[in-house]
C-alpha cells in the first residue's frame, strides 16, 4: 500500500493480486456514497462486471455500469456530455460516486466528470492498464481533449482511492503492455536506479502475466509518483516537471502521427531516447548509461527509430509548446536516476537529434 499525503485530499493506492473483489469493502470503509456510477469499457464489463457488482452489493452500494468506447477519441466533450447525462439520470439523490475502471482514457474522462458533476463527487480509480496503474490513475490530473490539442480541458481532482489489481493486466496485448513498461522505465530512469536494473534484468522476458514482478514495479512507480505529487500537487513549483522526461519530444511524435500511430508509451520511449541523445551531445550523460537505456527500450519491444513521420511534422507541434522561443526547456539526464531540467536547449540540436532517429 502506498499513501499519497495531501492533507484532507490524502488517499491510498492499494496494489495487489486479485483485489478487485475488495473494491466494495474499501469504498464502504471510506463512506463514499450509496450508489456508484462505474465507468468502464465493454471488455472489462463482460469479464469483471459480476465481481465488481457483487463486491459493491455486499456493502449495499448500488452500481450502474456506463460503457465508453475504446480509444483516445473518447476523451471528448461528446463522451463527457453523454456520461454526465447518464449520471444525472442514475443519481437518485442518494450520495453517488464514480468508479473509473479502465485505462488512462477512462480514468481521465471519468475523473474529469467526477470533478465537475455537482461541483465534485468522489472518484475511485481502478486502473486496468499498466500505464494507468503506474501513472495516470495517480496524481489527480483529469482531462478531455480538444481538436486543438490533448488534455486542454481538465481539472486537478484527486481520487479518493486507487485500487491497482495486477491480475487485471494479464489480458493486455503486447503493445499495450510495452507501452506501460515505457512509463515504468521512465520512473527508473528519473529516480530509481534499482527499479531501472530490475526492468533491465527482466526486459526480454517480462510479460503481463508475471504478477510477482509487476507488483513490485507498480508499487515502486506508485511510490515515486506519490512522492512527486506530494511535493507539487498542482504542477506549480517544477517538482512534477521531471515526470515529463521523454514527453516533450514524445508528445510531438505522437501529435505528428495524428494520435493512433504510436501508443503513448512508444512515443515517449522515442522521446526518452532523443532526450538521452541530447544529454550525450551536451556531454551530460555517459555513453554506457545511454546504451543501457537504449538496450532496455528495445528489449521491451519498444521502438528506437521514428518511422512514418517527417521531421517538419514533429517540429510543428513541438514549436507550439507554450514555452517555445527558438529554444526549449527539457528534462535531460546526468545519469540513471539523475534528471536535470535544462533551460535553453537550442531547437537546432533537438531537430538534429530527432532527424537522426528517423528511420
Ligand atoms: N492523468 C494523467 O496523469 C495521465 C498520465 C499519463 C497518461 N494519461 C492519459 O492516459 C491515456 C492513455 O492511457 P492507456 O495507455 O491506459 O490507454 P487506454 O485507456 O486507451 O487503454 C488502452 C487499451 O487497453 C484496453 N484495455 C484496458 N484495460 C485492459 C485490460 N485489463 N486487458 C486488456 N485490454 C485492456 C483498452 O480497451 C484500450 O483499448 C491518454 O489519454 C493519456 O493522455 C493521463
Ligand atoms: Zn506519459
- At residue 317 the predicted structure's pLDDT band, cuts being 50, 70 and 90, is low
Of the ranges 41-55, 118-132, 255-269, 340-354, which one carries the lowest mean pLDDT score?
A: 255-269
Residue 196 confidence (pLDDT) above 60: yes
Residue 277 has pLDDT above 80, yes or no: yes
Per-residue pLDDT of 114-128, as tens digits, reads 999 999 999 999 999
The pLDDT confidence band at residue 240, using thresholds 50, 70 and 90, is: very high
How many CB atoms are located within 10 Å of the residue 18 CB?
12
56 C-alpha vs ligand 1 centroid, how far in Å? 24
pLDDT at 322 > cutoff 60: no
Q: How far is the CA of 177 from the centre of ligand 1 (A)?
A: 10
The pLDDT mean for the chain works out to 94
* Closest atom, ligand 1, to C-alpha of 151: 43
Judge if the beta carbon of residue 100 lies within 6 A of ligand 1. Answer: no
Q: What is the structure's pLDDT at 327?
A: 64
Task: Please indicate whether residue 131, judged by its CB atom, sits closer than 6 Å to ligand 1.
Answer: yes
What is the atom index within ligand 1 of the atom nearest the CA of 138? Answer: 3
Q: Is the CB of 102 under 6 A from ligand 1?
A: yes
User: For the ranges 11-25, 117-131, 292-306, 324-338, which has the lowest average pLDDT?
Assistant: 324-338
Mean pLDDT along residues 351-355 = 91
In this prediction, residue 320 carries a pLDDT of 58
Question: What is the Å distance from ligand 2's center to 137 Cα?
Answer: 11
132 lines ligand 1 (CB under 6 A): yes
Range with the poorest average pLDDT among 94-108, 153-167, 186-200, 296-310: 296-310
Q: What is the pLDDT of residue 212?
A: 96
Whether the CB-CB separation of 175 and 144 falls below 8 Å is answered with no
Find out whether the beta carbon of 240 lies less than 6 Å from any atom of ligand 1: no
Q: What is the pLDDT of residue 316?
A: 61
Task: Note whether 12 and 160 are within 8 A (CB).
Answer: no
Q: Report the separation in Å between the CA atom of 323 and the middle of ligand 1, taken as the mean of its atom positions.
A: 27
DSSP secondary structure string for all residues of 209-229: T-HHHHHHHHHHHHHHHHHHH
pLDDT at residue 274 greater than cutoff 70: yes
Nearest ligand to the CA atom of 247 = 2
**Residue 329 pLDDT level (bands cut at 50, 70, 90):** confident
- Cβ 70 under 6 angstroms from ligand 1: yes
CB of 135 closer than 6 A to ligand 1?
Answer: yes
Question: Which of 316-320, 321-325, 339-343 has the weakest average pLDDT?
Answer: 321-325
Whole-angstrom distance, CA of residue 187 vs CA of residue 217: 10
pLDDT of residue 310: 73
For the stretch 129-183, pLDDT in tens is 999 999 999 999 999 999 988 899 999 999 999 999 999 999 999 999 999 999 9
40 lines ligand 1 (CB under 6 A): no
276-309 residues labelled b (16+ CB within 10 A) or e (exposed): bbbbbebebbeeebbebbbebbbbbbbbeebeeb
62-96 confidence digits (pLDDT tens) = 999 999 999 999 999 999 999 999 999 999 988 99
Residue positions annotated with a catalytic role? 119, 141, 183, 225, 236, 240, 244, 247, 251, 264
pLDDT at 321 exceeding the cut of 80: no
56 pLDDT band (50/70/90 cuts)? very high
pLDDT at 107 (0 to 100): 98
Mutation pick for ligand 1 pocket among 18, 132, 255 (CB with most ligand atoms within 8 Å): 132
pLDDT of residue 319: 61
Element (H, E) at 107: helix 104-116
The string over 197-232, giving b where at least 16 C-beta atoms fall within 10 Å of a residue's C-beta and e elsewhere, is ebbbebbeebebebbebbbbbbbbbbbbbbebbbeb
Q: Determine whether the shortest distance from the Cβ of 21 to ligand 1 is under 6 A.
A: no
Is the pLDDT at 185 greater than 80, yes or no? yes
Q: Is 46's pLDDT higher than 80? A: yes
Has residue 238 got a pLDDT over 60?
yes
From ligand 2's centre to the CA of 247, what distance in Å?
7
Sign of CA dihedral 164, 166, 169, 171: negative
Q: Helix, strand, or coil here: 133?
A: helix
Mean pLDDT of 285-305: 97
Q: What distance in angstroms lies between residue 202's CA and the mean position of ligand 2's atoms?
A: 21
The stretch 212-218 carries a mean pLDDT of: 98
What atom of ligand 1 comes closest to residue 150's alpha carbon?
Answer: 43
d(C-alpha 170, C-alpha 237), whole Å: 37
Amino acid at each position: 500500500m502506498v499513501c499519497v499525503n495531501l492533507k484532507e485530499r490524502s488517499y491510498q493506492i492499494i496494489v495487489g493480486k486479485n483485489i478487485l473483489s475488495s473494491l466494495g469493502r474499501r469504498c464502504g470503509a471510506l463512506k463514499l456514497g450509496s450508489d456508484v456510477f462505474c465507468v468502464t469499457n465493454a471488455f472489462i464489463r463482460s469479464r469483471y462486471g459480476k465481481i465488481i457488482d457483487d463486491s459493491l452489493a455486499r456493502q449495499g452500494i448500488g452500481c450502474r455500469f456506463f460503457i465508453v468506447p475504446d480509444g483516445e477519441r473518447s476523451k471528448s466533450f461528446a463522451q463527457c456530455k453523454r456520461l454526465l447525462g447518464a449520471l444525472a439520470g442514475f443519481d437518485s439523490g442518494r450520495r453517488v460516486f464514480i468508479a473509473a475502471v479502465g485505462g488512462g482514457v477512462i480514468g481521465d474522462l471519468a475523473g474529469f466528470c467526477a470533478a465537475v458533476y455537482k461541483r465534485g463527487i468522489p472518484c475511485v480509480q481502478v486502473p486496468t492498464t499498466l500505464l494507468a496503474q503506474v501513472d495516470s490513475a495517480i496524481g489527480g490530473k483529469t482531462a478531455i481533449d480538444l481538436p486543438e490539442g490533448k488534455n486542454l480541458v481538465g481539472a486537478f481532482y484527486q481520487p479518493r482511492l486507487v485500487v491497482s489489481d495486477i491480475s487485471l493486466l494479464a489480458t493486455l496485448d503486447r503493445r499495450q503492455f510495452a507501452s506501460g513498461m515505457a512509463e515504468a522505465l521512465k520512473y527508473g530512469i528519473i529516480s530509481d536506479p534499482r527499479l531501472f536494473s530490475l526492468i533491465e534484468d527482466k526486459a526480454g522476458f517480462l510479460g503481463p502475466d508475471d504478477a510477482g514482478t509487476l507488483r513490485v514495479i507498480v508499487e515502486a512507480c506508485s511510490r515515486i509518483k506519490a512522492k512527486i505529487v506530494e511535493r507539487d500537487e498542482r504542477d506549480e513549483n517544477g517538482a512534477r516537471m521531471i515526470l515529463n522526461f521523454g514527453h516533450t519530444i514524445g508528445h510531438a511524435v505522437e501529435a505528428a502521427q495524428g494520435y493512433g500511430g504510436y501508443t503513448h508509451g512508444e512515443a515517449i520511449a522515442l522521446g526518452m531516447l532523443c532526450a538521452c541523445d541530447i544529454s550525450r551531445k551536451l556531454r551530460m550523460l555517459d555513453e554506457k548509461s545511454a546504451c543501457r537505456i537504449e538496450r532496455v527500450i528495445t528489449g521491451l519491444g519498444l521502438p528506437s527509430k521514428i518511422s512514418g513521420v517527417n521531421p517538419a511534422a514533429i517540429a510543428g507541434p513541438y514549436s507550439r509548446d507554450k514555452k517555445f522561443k527558438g529554444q526549449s526547456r527539457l528534462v535531460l539526464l546526468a545519469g540513471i536516476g539523475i534528471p536535470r531540467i535544462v533551460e535553453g536547449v537550442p531547437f537546432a540540436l533537438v531537430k538534429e537529434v530527432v532527424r537522426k532517429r528517423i528511420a
